[in-house]
Structure 1
């Protein structure tokens, strides 16, 4: 099992708790009736378009406006999928720590997934805070539950409002967490890439010196090689080690 520092352990625990909590909230908000209820509450109070008025379009054989993304069931599906992906990646991190993978692969894995999850959560936050402009008389720049208190609602629907607020808050926390992790992961990956480039230069230099010794009919002595930056730059020609010019 790989050893991780106290900060890494705390970070992993925070990620796991955040992923499980967010996924649980979005699972509760997944049923289609959840967003429909939020839409109807806003429509009845004049805070956004009223879904019940769409029946008049069907009665007059007219095509109703498209369902705003913020009230669409597809948003619930995408939010839940993102939260599940976050949880799976968190569990994969734990498995990688237990499996003692190489630091280089771990850095690449973390950077790739943190940037990917950051992008997904950005989309989720933008979609959850999008507006409803299908009714010109009742435009809504943002969902009503992000601007109003749940205390003004009846007890029968107040729980729905609270769940919507909690889901959004934990989605924002997930975005902040993975944005911060992505910055740290990319910097860590850059460090390891720099370390590997130095190692590649050393290997190329050793191979070039060995070819020089074989061409002269001599014996290659590893002690003749001075592993310092000046020797890498000047002791090996570009023709012998072309990769040095690309580094």
Structure 2
């Protein structure tokens, strides 16, 4: 397994060069052919998972699970029950309680799992095998402009405060928000970023437009940081 990882890193280094960059490089790199090279390499080498499960680390909680919607609603709630999160964040603006199997009902039975929706408190009670677990749920909308995406990514990261475990329900439409939250977190701690590896590790489908948008977001973030630094000088 270690050999495979080392081989993968060497192949990436050979084709792409160094992808771990400083924030100051964001303006230069956003104008280069690097974006196209990285995206093309991702398309050729990364197998996009239809129902991926990814563990995010760092400020977004010690064990945050990122899930794409599963084929069966019952399977999703079984996964949630096992993870026992404090919060579910749905990142896709097309998502609704109907997508989670409630379909306008306050109670629903899905095989061995029963759900009870508490709309006044945004809570869902999950019962399985005589065990009850309560989880909060919140919805975030996908954004397409760099400014809005940065703002919603910050809200996304703030949602993790004082929580130990969060399940994030996402899709290809909103994977940029998840990726950007990881990028900004590292930028704030190290002033470095690696868009290629963030997207590669998520293994979720992403379009060229979304990939370019991540670079635009970092360029905007760098611009705002420079304005702030100049204002306090």
More strand by share: 2
TM-score bracket, normalised by the shorter chain, equals: under 0.3
Whose radius of gyration is greater, 1 or 2? 1
Query: TM-score, normalised on structure 1?
Result: 0.26
Q: Which has the higher contact order (CA 8 A, sep 6+)?
A: 2
